[in-house]
Amino acid sequence: MRRVLVTGGGTGIGRAVAHAFCDAGDAVTIAGRRLAALDNAARDRDITRRVADVTDEAEVEALFDSPYDIVIANAGRGAPGKLAKTSLDNWNATLAVNLTGTFLTFRAALSGMGAGGRLIAIASTAALKGNASVPAYTAAKHGVLGLVRSVALDVAKDGITCNAICPGFTDTDLAGTAISGLMKRFGVDRERATGMVVSGNPQGRLVDPAEVAATAVFLASRRAAAINGHALSVSGGEI
């Protein structure tokens, strides 16, 4: 049985990923800052919960008291705001969670990961193109992709792969926040605001978290052993 760790596993994409691996028969651990969210995500499933902040080096290291076969660095955050209105605190916090958190998670994972191991970062289409509305988040996700490509070259000789999944707007709380923000900013109803959010997706819809989870399960499979250093867009054709 493979051991799987999912950071940010209490909600959204992380929760869907954890459920998908659990349903596939893997031993899953989810980590996050809020125990209540972790408990809710683990309800009716045999999932281990660990409270940890991915920006805290010691707390991340403590997660790896036993090695994992598959590690999904999913924890992230993003707040709208063009560059001129982005505070240094917001900039630092966004990079800390998305980029430094992925660095700390992957570094700790490699201390005990053996051949066949899988490192997967949940990035974003923001890792593949610019976005004037979320420069801090976009910069962080570009950094995540650079880290993935660099780590992939390093671990290839050890039989480990490192890849990124780049979802478009996904039906999670993050998308909900964006939709609510547009409703307030432009005085439009939820349907109109949702349409604005998904306008970049040729399919005209939010991505289902289960679609991202299925992609993670595939990248962790034996059949994906030759996929390394790749950014896989799950965005309906946006990228």
pLDDT of residue 31: 98
Question: What is the distance between the alpha carbons of residues 77 and 98, in angstroms, rounded to a whole number?
Answer: 7
What global pTM score does this model have?
Answer: 0.96
Could you list the active site residues?
137
**The pLDDT of residue 175:** 85
Which pLDDT does position 177 carry in this prediction? 85
Tell me the C-alpha to C-alpha distance, in Å, between residue 65 and each of 13, 27, 50, 61: 25, 15, 12, 8
Question: Residue 127's pLDDT is what?
Answer: 98
Note down pLDDT in tens along the chain; length 239 residues: 999 999 999 999 999 999 999 999 999 999 999 999 999 999 999 999 999 999 999 999 999 999 999 999 999 998 888 999 999 999 999 999 999 999 999 999 999 999 999 999 999 999 999 999 899 999 999 999 999 999 999 999 999 999 999 999 999 988 888 898 889 889 999 999 999 989 999 999 999 999 999 999 999 999 999 999 999 999 999 99
Q: Which amino acid is at 169?
A: F
CA distance 13 to 67: 23
Smallest CA-to-CA distance from 106 within 158, 163, 51 is with 163
Nearest CA to 160 among 101, 220, 213, 100? 220
